[in-house]
Amino acid sequence: MTLATALKTGDLTQLPSRRDEDWRWTDLRGLVRTLPPVSPEFFDTIKAGGPFEGLAEAELVIANGRANWWPGEDTDTVEFAHHDAPDNPYDPVDLPMATLAADKAIEPRASIITFTGSDIASIRFVSATDGTSHHARFGVVVEAGVSAVLLESHEGRGDRYLANTLVEIFLEEGAKLERIVIADDAAEAFAVTTAIVNLAPGATFNQTILTSGARRQRIETRVNHPGAHASVRLDGAYVLANQRHADQTTVVTHGGVDGLTSQLTKGVVDDQARGVFQGRIVVQPGADQTDARMGHHALILSDKAEVDAKPELLIFADDVACAHGNTIGALDDEQIFYARQRGIPEAEAKAMLTQAFLGEVVERIEHEGAREIAAAWVAAKLGRGE
Compute the average pLDDT of residues 59-72.
Answer: 77
Residue 267 pLDDT exceeds 80: yes
Q: Give the model's pLDDT for residue 203.
A: 99
Residue 156 lies in a domain: yes
Per the model's pLDDT, the better-predicted residue between 369 and 110 turns out to be 369
3-state SS, one letter per residue, for the chain: CCHHHHHHHCCHHHCCCCCCHHHCCCCCCCCCCCCCCECCCCCCCCCCCCCCCCCCCEEEEEECCEEEECCCCCCCCEEEEEEECCCCCCCCCCCHHHHHHHHHCCCCEEEEEEECCCEEEEEEEEECCCCCEEEEEEEEEECCCCEEEEEEEEEECCCCCEEEEEEEEEECCCCEEEEEEEEECCCCCEEEEEEEEEECCCCEEEEEEEECCECEEEEEEEEEECCCCCEEEEEEEEEECCCCEEEEEEEEEECCCCCEEEEEEEEEECCCCEEEEEEEEEECCCCCCCEEEEEEEEEECCCCCEEEEEEEEEECCCCCEEEEEEEEECCCHHHHHHHHHCCCCHHHHHHHHHHHHHHHHHHCCCCHHHHHHHHHHHHHHCCCCC
Residue 295 pLDDT exceeds 80: yes
Least confidently predicted of 53-67, 73-87, 95-109, 331-345: 95-109
Residue 374 lies in a domain: no
Q: Give the model's pLDDT for residue 270.
A: 96
Residue 261 lies in a domain: yes
Residue 338 lies in a domain: no
Least confidently predicted of 44-58, 117-131, 238-252: 44-58
Residue 386 lies in a domain: no
Q: Give the model's pLDDT for residue 343.
A: 84
How many domains is the chain partitioned into structurally? Answer: 1
Entry pTM: 0.91
Host domain of residue 316: 3-332
Residue 101 pLDDT exceeds 50: no
Residue 375 lies in a domain: no
Residue 376 lies in a domain: no
Residue 42 lies in a domain: yes
Q: Give the model's pLDDT for residue 2.
A: 36
Residue 100 pLDDT exceeds 90: no
